[in-house]
Structure 1
Amino acid sequence: MRSLSLPLSVPDDVALKIASLLQVPDLCALASCSPFWREICGSDCIWEPLVRERWPPLEFSDGSSSSTAIKKTMSMGWRTFYIEVHHKMAAEATSVVQFVKQCRSSESLEVDEYLGAIELLHAMRFGLEDVEMFLFKPEHTVLLNMIGLHYCIDCLRVPAICVLEALYRSKISERRVCVEWFELGHSSPYPHQNFYIPDESHFRYLSLEDLAMYKGEEVLGLIHEGASDWRIARVKITIADP
């Protein structure tokens, strides 16, 4: 890398160290300060770790490996590649938003619709930052917020504290949903007891913060069971607050 003169001399290795400690918005702001910082902040050694950190579920290829990997041409810099993948994820996030909007009701989701949206995110290989950036928006319905939260916990295995921090930053942690489920009646499981347990309906009100913590484990597990357990006739997730 060629060195460019500065009013205050900063060795290239020191400048690279400084730039490598920054998050993307600050890195871009620093790059606009001078030609020297533009060159430093565009370095592949800075942007490659940023790509891999933001999208850990993704495979990256220079064209010679797996057919399922996202391709990066040899001539493309990692900064340009980061921008390209970001735009791809933004477009795919829009498709998830549209999927939820086209479901049967704007106020609630049946369990098959809800799990279908999570499957879309899984197929797109979203990272936590994508979920926070594109789905944890306060202007989105809390149903979309919850889908992103559930995906982070269940598919990405993001620690609860990291999910909570993302909810707090997005100012959506107190938003609430109501999860309703309907259990079919059945005979007593004990041979010596001859009685029938009637159909029952249940519901739980939970905030997104509750769902990110241990309070939500039972409910999130129930949502998965509701798609396969014959005893559960229906599971529905509804917006709790206007």
Structure 2
Amino acid sequence: MKQSEEGTQSSLPDDIALKIASLLEVPDLCALGSCSRFWRSLCGSGCIWESLVKERWASLSSLTLFDESSSSTPTKAPISKGWRGFYIKRHKEMAGRVSAVTKFVEKCFPNESLEVGDYLKAIEELSTMQVGFKDVQMFLFKPKCNVLLNLVGLHYCLSWLEVPGEDVIEALQSCKISERRVCVKWWKLGRLFYGFRMRDESHSRWVSLADLAMAKEQEVLVVLQRGAIHEVLQVQISAADPTSTPWSCQSAQRQD
């Protein structure tokens, strides 16, 4: 085994090995690091983990870690333990933050439907917590998540993070959830016709996550973004067949 490890080190230049490791995603990088002492040392390199930190959390692009041996002087090449440890700590923090949002959303749809106010609040919480695109992919784009959580993550990426639709659809397809569908239903105040108020209008639309990501259902996105304001009385998002869901809408009384 020792000879095999030495052979690996001598047959593969360090710069090429480092380049290979730097192209891997975190799970593959960790798996490679468990192969031998050589790969464990190389896969723990600070430059690799620094790149992973700043790629996943773009807001930390100017971050500089401090060497533990010095309390005042930042090091431009942090020890590998610092960057790897920071990544692990940050990952756990993000998992806890997204879990809190997940629990909030799950409490809000006991009948498989979600009011738009709660929906927008969940998205705002993700923004407050500085959740990144990679975090959404890891924690909210999982097939085992309710499709309403998938939708919250999708809308957050498009509207708050301003991730290009092409990148979002690629992530949805990679996670095998692009064809999952939701039903968005909204009620609008009836139009005035010769001084009389017409009956309130009910609209219902089944849409896939892929269609929303590619802006094929722009009207639905606008309704979700604006919520229940102006002429829109109520908006509900459902993961179930609307014919079997106890939809309800109490029109507000208004005077013109």
Q: Distance in 2 between matches of 1:58 and 1:109?
A: 33
After alignment, is 136-145 or 51-60 more displaced? 51-60
Residue 91 (structure 1) aligned with residue 96 (structure 2) = yes
Q: Distance in 2 between matches of 1:224 and 1:28?
A: 39
Q: Distance in 2 between matches of 1:82 and 1:124?
A: 16
Aligned equivalent of 2:108, options 98, 103, 107: 103
Q: How does 1:1-242 map to 2 (within 5 A)?
A: 6-8=6-8, 9=10, 10-58=12-60, 61-62=63-64, 77-103=82-108, 105-188=110-193, 196-227=197-228, 229-240=229-240
Change (3 A) 1:212 1:240: farther
TM-score, scaled relative to structure 1: 0.84
- Are the equivalent residues in 2 in contact too, given 1:57–1:126 (CA < 8 A)? no
- Report the aligned-residue RMSD: 2.4
For these two proteins, the number of residue pairs brought into alignment is: 226
Change (3 A) 1:113 1:196: same
- Three-state SS of the structure 2 residue aligned to 1:77 is helix
Q: Distance in 2 between matches of 1:185 and 1:115?
A: 25
What is the letter of the counterpart of residue 175 of structure 1?
R
Q: Structure 1, residues 100-143: CA drift from partner, whole Å, max 9, x if none?
A: 12215341111110001101111111122211111112222111
Q: Distance in 1 between matches of 2:37 and 2:109?
A: 53
Q: Distance in 2 between matches of 1:87 and 1:144?
A: 19
Give structure 1 regions of 4+ aligned residues with deviation exceeding 4 angstroms.
Answer: 58-64, 72-76
Change (3 A) 1:59 1:123: farther
Deviation at 1:44, TM superposition (A): 0.8
Deviation at 1:240, TM superposition (A): 3.5
Change (3 A) 1:106 1:62: farther
Deviation at 1:198, TM superposition (A): 2.7
Deviation at 1:216, TM superposition (A): 2.7
TM-score, scaled relative to structure 2: 0.80
Deviation at 1:12, TM superposition (A): 2.2
Change (3 A) 1:60 1:93: farther
Deviation at 1:81, TM superposition (A): 0.8
- Are the equivalent residues in 1 in contact too, given 2:187–2:201 (CA < 8 A)? yes
- Show the counterpart of 2:71: none
Identity in percent: 54
